[in-house]
Amino acid sequence: MPKVTVHRKAHFNAAHRLYRKDWSDEKNTAVFGKCSNPNFHGHNYDLEVSVTGEIDKETGFVMDLSILRKLIKEEVEEAFDHKNLNVEVAEFKEVNPTAENISVVIYDKLRTKINRNLDLSIKLYETPRNFVTYSGN
Tell me, yes or no, if 126 is annotated catalytic.
Answer: yes
Min dist. Cβ of residue 104 to Ni ion (A): 17
Min dist. Cβ of residue 35 to Ni ion (A): 4
Active site residue: 11, 41, 82, 100, which one? 82
- Name the residue nearer to Ni ion (CB basis): 35 or 122: 35
Tell me, yes or no, if 11 is annotated catalytic.
Answer: no
Active site residue: 35, 48, 58, 77, which one? 35
- Name the residue nearer to Ni ion (CB basis): 52 or 98: 98
- Name the residue nearer to Ni ion (CB basis): 75 or 126: 126
Query: Per-residue DSSP letters for the chain?
Result: --EEEEEEEEEEEEEE----TTS-HHHHHHHHGGGG-TT-EEEEEEEEEEEEEEPPTTT--SS-HHHHHHHHIIIIIHHHTTEEHHHH-GGGSSS---HHHHHHHHHHHHHTTS-TTSEEEEEEESSSS-EEEE---
Tell me, yes or no, if 41 is annotated catalytic.
Answer: no
Active site residue: 16, 43, 75, 126, which one? 126
- Name the residue nearer to Ni ion (CB basis): 10 or 43: 43
Residue least distant from Ni ion (Cβ) = 35
What are the residues binding Ni ion (CB under 5 A)? 35
Please report how many Cα atoms fall inside a 13 Å half-sphere around the Cα of residue 125, on the Cβ side: 11
| Residues marked as catalytic | 35, 82, 126
